[in-house]
Amino acid sequence: MLYNLQHIIENAAKSLPDRVAFSCLKKVITYQELDQQANQLAHSLLNNAHLKGDRIGIYMPRCLESVTAVFGILKSGGVYVPLDPFAPAHRTAAIIEDCNIKTLVTIPNQKKRVEGVLKETSQIQLIIGSETISNCSSIAWETIFEEKNSKPLLEILESDLAFILYTSGSTGSPKGIMHTHYSALSLAKIVAHTFDFTQEDIFGNPAPLHFDPSTFGYFVAPLVRAKTVIIPEAYLKMPASLSALIAQEKISVWYSVPLMLIQLLKSNTLTKYDFSHLRWIFFAGEVFIPKHLKALMEIWPQARYCNLYGPAELILCTYYPLEEIPDAHINIPIGKTWANTEFKILNSQGEEVLQGEEGELTIRSATLMQGYWNNPEMTQKCFHQVNIAQGYQHTYYKTGDLVKLSEANELLFLGRNDRQIKLRGYRVELDEVENILLQHPLVEEAAVIAVKDTEEAQKLQASILLRNGKSLQIDELREFCSQFLPSYALPESITIMKDFPRTSSGKIDRKQIANLIDQPQP
Amino acid sequence: MKDKISNYIIHHIAKQKIEAIHADDDLLADGLIDSLGMMKLVAYVEKEAQIKIPPEDLTLENFMTIDHILEYLANHSTT
């Protein structure tokens, strides 16, 4: 049987029990060990009065324990919520309260951070995987591994929720994208069906769990019985070491944002080691500058390259395998929708555009999320319903991405119809950053724009107006923002202005601000 | 140089408020410095030590701690 995510591991444990499922540097776990440890965690959660559908936080950096946490929570009928351990404690606490998390699964070296989060919220009652923390019960991993390792008797349906991914929300608080076992398993099945992966493959997983590309390493790889190498945090900051690790681990399938591949390219190490195992390079999240992609394809000709596309609400939905090295000036298509997926391109009236015309991409797919946690209004707004007959509707997700269809019937990405941007691969709502600035009591108005930093990356510039006659140190405001925003979403510069350029209707003219900031302030 | 580097980390690139940083503290494993911050640190070290660090030297072995950076500089300084 295969209709929920833990079936992937249970089936693999039966057919290939001793095969390594995941590794992280020297630590490895086989399919059977993973299945049994996940059962033990599930029993412990169930013994502690957890009910089906309970949200449970996973609070740890990239490490092997994250895999046991994912499958253990799923086997208990729980919904895992990955929490970025590097996010400000205040933001983490807001997520914990938004989806009512009472239990955190962590690892011992995160103790200080856990304590930081507990200072911001009183909702957590149980910590799993860390030593005793005051005012909170805790269970060590050693105790978990004394539980029985049989499969818990609990029926998990494909329509049950599996995880919630929090992402930037324009109102100033993060929004939770709900995926079911069905939507996530559909993604794994479609990807496995589309590409030629085998159990000999080794997947490199640089994505943190709270970032949807991690579904490749955590679900697609075990579905094809391959091994996933979890890349530890430190390697992502030192491209020359990352390159050595990819060669050493004999990674054959790589999936990351383009920026990481560009950093590898610029490390001057790609001819230094043996990369003959690399078969597939996938990238998504941002436009890959064709010039760099071309250089990469020339230096690693043994691999095949594929552009993937999809908002976290659908995980992924289109793909474009590159058959040849692209011309340095082309816009690399996001390609075609894959199995179990269809699309419409709509104009602002919600009508389908003609072939070749620009419009908003809307997608209907088995991988579509359930909705936004605790926010039916926003869920309603992001869906486009097509009435087929009385009581029968097709639900499309409005991506907010502007596209057109090329003559070869491939989708071309043209931009956004709102103020969401990608910053070094991270999804950021400019309105969220503005709303956080506005929460400071001395800030009257705020405008945040993205400007080109280097050729391949953008940065945020904030401009503010202070309340009448008030003064404020920029450092103080920066400190304020860092309590609420993840580090990648903090403005690179904040400028205090006397007034904003405005449009005739009095709105802030953000385009003009970009020009003004480029010139020195009088 | 040691104090300059630690001051730069504390005041310009650290993601959390910290009072002090030790020469043997791991700069990479935890969330103290993100990848953008690491690039800034490399540029700062290059400027202060007046050397150019080739990209292939951007490794864990050379940048894990302030001690590692100082050792790298001692082995690669031009004077």
Interface confidence (ipTM) of the complex: 0.89
The alpha-carbon gap from A396 to the nearest alpha carbon of chain B, in Å, equals 36
- Which pLDDT belongs to residue A518? 63
Contacts (Cβ under 8 Å, ≥6 apart) of A214: A82, A205, A207, A208
Record: contact A241-B33, CB cut-off 8 A? no
Can you give the CATH number for the domain in which B24 is found?
A: 1.10.1200.10
Residue whose pair of structure tokens reads 């007959």 in the numeric block: A389
Fold of A335-416: Luciferase; domain 3 (2.30.38)
Interface test with B, best of A109, A238, A265 (most B CBs within 10 A): A238
Phi, psi dihedrals of residue A216, rounded to the nearest 5°: -60, -55
CA quadruple A493, A497, A502, A508: dihedral sign: positive
- Which pLDDT belongs to residue A202? 98
CATH H-level superfamily of A421-518: ANL, C-terminal domain (3.30.300.30)
CA distance A428 to A408: 32
Confidence of residue A519 (pLDDT cuts 50, 70, 90): low
What is the pLDDT averaged over residues A111-125? 92
Report the residue from B34, B54, B64 with minimal CB separation from A487. Answer: B34
DSSP track, A390-444: TTEEEEEEEEEEEEEE-TTS-EEEEEESSSEEEETTEEEEHHHHHHHHHTSTTEE
Taking CB atoms and an 8 Å cutoff, what residues of chain A touch B61?
241
The alpha-carbon gap from B21 to the nearest alpha carbon of chain A, in Å, equals 16
Residue of B nearest to A453 (CA): B36
Do A363 and A397 meet the contact criterion of CB atoms below 8 Å apart? yes
Report the residue from B30, B34, B56 with minimal CB separation from A269. Answer: B56
CA distance A401 to A145: 46
Q: How far is C-alpha A196 from the chain's CA centre? A: 24
B68, two tokens: 């590692």
CA distance A396 to A403: 16
CA distance A171 to A400: 16
Taking CB atoms and an 8 Å cutoff, what residues of chain B touch A239?
55, 58
Taking CB atoms and an 8 Å cutoff, what residues of chain B touch A487?
15, 31, 34
CA neighbours closer than 13 Å in the CB half-sphere of residue A67: 32
Per-residue pLDDT tens over the stretch A457-498: 788 999 999 988 888 999 899 989 988 898 889 998 899 988
Report the residue from A86, A232, A240 with minimal CB separation from B57. Answer: A240
- Which pLDDT belongs to residue A502? 86
Domain ranges of chain A: 5-237, 335-416, 421-518
- Which pLDDT belongs to residue A522? 42
Residue whose pair of structure tokens reads 């269970």 in the numeric block: A139
Confidence of residue B78 (pLDDT cuts 50, 70, 90): low
CA distance A323 to A470: 60
Lowest mean pLDDT among A311-325, A497-511, B60-74: A497-511
Report the residue from A61, A234, A269 with minimal CB separation from B60. Answer: A234
CA neighbours closer than 13 Å in the CB half-sphere of residue A468: 0
DSSP A352: B
The alpha-carbon gap from B63 to the nearest alpha carbon of chain A, in Å, equals 8
Asked if the C-beta of B60 comes within 8 angstroms of chain A's C-beta atoms, the answer is: yes
The alpha-carbon gap from A416 to the nearest alpha carbon of chain B, in Å, equals 25
Q: State which residues form the domain around B21.
A: 2-76
- Which pLDDT belongs to residue A412? 96
Lowest mean pLDDT among A270-274, A384-388, A425-429: A425-429
Single pTM value for the model: 0.91
CA distance A334 to A321: 9
Per-residue pLDDT tens over the stretch A302-320: 999 999 999 999 999 999 9
- Which pLDDT belongs to residue A457? 79
- Which pLDDT belongs to residue A521? 45
Helix, strand, or coil here: A166? strand
Count structural domains, chain B. 1
Asked if the C-beta of B2 comes within 8 angstroms of chain A's C-beta atoms, the answer is: no
Helix, strand, or coil here: A234? helix
Record: contact B58-A482, CB cut-off 8 A? no
Instruction: Indicate the CATH number for domain A5-237.
Output: 3.40.50.980
Contacts (Cβ under 8 Å, ≥6 apart) of B41: B5, B8, B9, B13, B27, B33, B63
The alpha-carbon gap from A92 to the nearest alpha carbon of chain B, in Å, equals 15
Record: contact A240-B59, CB cut-off 8 A? yes
Statement: residue A354 has pLDDT above 80: yes
What is the pLDDT averaged over residues A425-452? 90
Record: contact A86-B36, CB cut-off 8 A? no
Interface test with A, best of B34, B39, B63 (most A CBs within 10 A): B34
- Which pLDDT belongs to residue A314? 97
Report the residue from A232, A237, A268 with minimal CB separation from B55. Answer: A268
Count of helix runs (H) and strand runs (E) in chain B: 4, 0
Do A269 and A296 meet the contact criterion of CB atoms below 8 Å apart? no
Phi, psi dihedrals of residue A450, rounded to the nearest 5°: -100, 130
If you count residue pairs, one on A and one on B, with CB atoms under 8 Å apart, how many are there? 64
CA distance A329 to A352: 29
- Which pLDDT belongs to residue A104? 97
Record: contact A234-B29, CB cut-off 8 A? yes
Residue whose pair of structure tokens reads 């072995």 in the numeric block: B61
Statement: residue A213 has pLDDT above 60: yes
Lowest mean pLDDT among A93-102, A132-141, A225-234, A431-440: A132-141
